[in-house]
């Protein structure tokens, strides 16, 4: 049984989301709705949701403020929002889920299915949301910390501390200067979207590299990194990689 609490100040948004969940999400479920964060604060201790579907922009108290007020929780969170580039970037950096309004049925099913899987392998949800709130308090996105949720726990890194990422089917392995690698159950394409504007370049279908750690590109098409490792640059990416490296700041 999953217990879903929808928090949204727009009646039509609440009703549509409830209808979509009832119609398209299989299995035993109980759904409640709240018209404000204040109402949600009273409902959560009684209803004890397993999943909070939380609108970001609400008057008086937004979704992030609500989570701050709760203090301690043991439920999952999926944010719902109209397009807000900065908030979405902070959410993605914090390894949390979101749905864009109007909500797409397939996106909704995928998000709830991820919640069901996470119930079997509980994430450190409070740490993820705390990281999100901290990210949102930064003056600009360059100070965001990336949450990496693994089977060993959740780890947080500034993009500048990541040497490279290596795709392994639906997983991505992260490499660092001063610790062993970490394996995360997300595709390298997702991290290319997140880290592309932080000086990371896609050198190969399986490799995403932080330009800061690049030493040189040799004649054989091998990209050598400061940790002594090297990766093959794909032929179709070679020109793009060379152009990016020419724009690399001098160390």
Residues found in the chain? 251
In a domain, 213, yes or no: yes
Asked whether residue 90 falls in the same domain as residue 128, the answer is yes
Domain that holds residue 131: 2-136
The residue among 251, 196, 202, 207 whose CA lies nearest residue 229 is 207
Give the Cα separation of 69 and 38 in Å (integer). 10
**CATH number of residue 15's parent domain:** 3.40.50.2300
Asked whether residue 6 falls in the same domain as residue 128, the answer is yes
CB neighbourhood size of 192 (10 A): 16
Tens of pLDDT, residues 141-165: 889 999 999 988 899 999 999 999 9
Asked whether residue 49 falls in the same domain as residue 132, the answer is yes
Q: Give the chain's residues under pLDDT 70.
A: 119-123, 248-251
Tens of pLDDT, residues 43-79: 999 999 999 999 999 998 999 899 989 877 788 999 9
In a domain, 180, yes or no: yes
């Amino acid at each position: 049984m999953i217990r879903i609490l929808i928090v949204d100040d727009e009646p039509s948004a609440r009703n549509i989301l409830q209808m979509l969940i009832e119609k398209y999400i299989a299995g035993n479920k109980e759904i409640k709705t709240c018209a404000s964060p204040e109402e949600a604060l009273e409902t959560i201790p009684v209803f004890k949701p397993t999943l909070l579907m939380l609108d970001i922009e609400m008057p008086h108290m937004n979704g992030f403020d609500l989570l701050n007020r709760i203090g301690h929780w043991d439920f999952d969170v999926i944010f719902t929002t109209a397009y807000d580039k900065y908030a979405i970037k902070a959410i993605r950096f914090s390894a949390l889920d979101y749905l864009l309004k109007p909500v797409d049925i397939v996106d909704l099913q995928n998000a709830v299915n991820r919640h069901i899987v996470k119930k079997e392998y509980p994430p450190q949800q409070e740490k993820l949301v705390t990281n999100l709130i901290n990210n949102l308090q930064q003056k600009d996105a360059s100070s965001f910390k990336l949450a990496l949720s693994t089977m060993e726990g959740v780890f947080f890194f500034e993009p500048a501390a990541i040497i490279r990422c290596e795709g392994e089917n639906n997983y991505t392995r992260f490499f660092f200067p001063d610790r062993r690698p970490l394996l995360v159950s997300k595709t390298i394409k997702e991290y290319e979207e997140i880290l592309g504007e932080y000086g990371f370049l896609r050198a190969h279908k399986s490799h995403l590299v932080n330009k800061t750690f690049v030493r040189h590109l040799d004649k054989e098409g091998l990209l050598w990194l400061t940790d002594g490792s090297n990766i093959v640059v794909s032929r179709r990416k070679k020109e793009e990689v060379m152009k990016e490296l020419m724009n690399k700041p001098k160390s």
